[in-house]
Amino acid sequence: MARRLRDSLPASVDVLEREGEPTALIDLWAGAEAVWLVDAVLSGAAPGTVLRLDASKSDPPERLRGGTTHHFSLGESIAVARALGRLPPRVVVFGIEGERFDLGEELTPAVAAAIAPVCSAIEEEVRELSAGR
């Protein structure tokens, strides 16, 4: 996904791949006009289901926060950033329902099939935002 978006999006858009602890994102998106976040989700929907969530005005719902004793979720990081006034004006989260979360290097076909439509959606939203400036 990142490879495709790097090729397809204008140079003014940074495409970053990150893993691990998500509060680090708060520094990464500093100064950005808009940010699109893509992550795996586990909500019980069919594998490959795409969830689009506009977090610009409100925090992700509680059920998507998944806080732990030891870790912050993406949703909590968005909520903290908003509380600190450190959220870009536009924040969109794309969640792709995962199928397998055990060790392995390949995506399952259902999840892999969600990559292209999510890329297209992000490309379209970037185009719209650029055109609307």
Partner 1 sequence: MAESRTKTIKTQALARVEGEGAMFVRIEGNRVSDVKLRIYEPPRFFEAFLRGRGFTEAPDITARICGICPVAYQMSAVGAMEDICGVEVGGQLRALRRLLYCGEWIESHALHVFMLHAPDFLGFDSAVELARADPTVVQRALELKKTGNLVMKVVGGREIHPINVRVGGWYRVPRKSELEPLRPALEQAREIALEAVRFTAGLRFPEYEQAYELVALAQPDEYPIDRGRIVSSNGLDIDVADYDDHFVEEHVPWSNALHSRLRERGSYLCGPLARYALSADRLSDGARSAAAEAGLTPAERNPFRSIVVRSVEMVYAAEEALRLIAEYEEPDAPAVTVEPRAGIGYGCTEAPRGILYHRYEINDEGTILDAKIVPPTSQNQRTIEEDLRGVVERSLQLPDDELTLLCEQTIRNYDPCISCATHFLKLEVERS
DSSP characters over 13-78: S------S-GGGHHHHTTT-SEEEEEEEE-SSSPTT-EEEEE-SSSPPPGGGT---SS---HHHHH
Q: Pattern 49-78, binding to partner 1, x per CB under 8 A?
A: ----------x------xxxxxxxx--x--
Residue (14 or 124) nearer to partner 1, CB? 14
Compute the distance between CA of residue 96 and CA of residue 76 in angstroms, rounded to an integer. 18
83 binds partner 1 (CB under 8 A): yes
CB of 92 to partner 1, least distance (A): 20
Q: Point out which residues bind partner 1 (CB under 8 A).
A: 18-21, 23-24, 26-27, 40, 42, 59, 66-73, 76, 79-80, 83-85, 98, 101-103
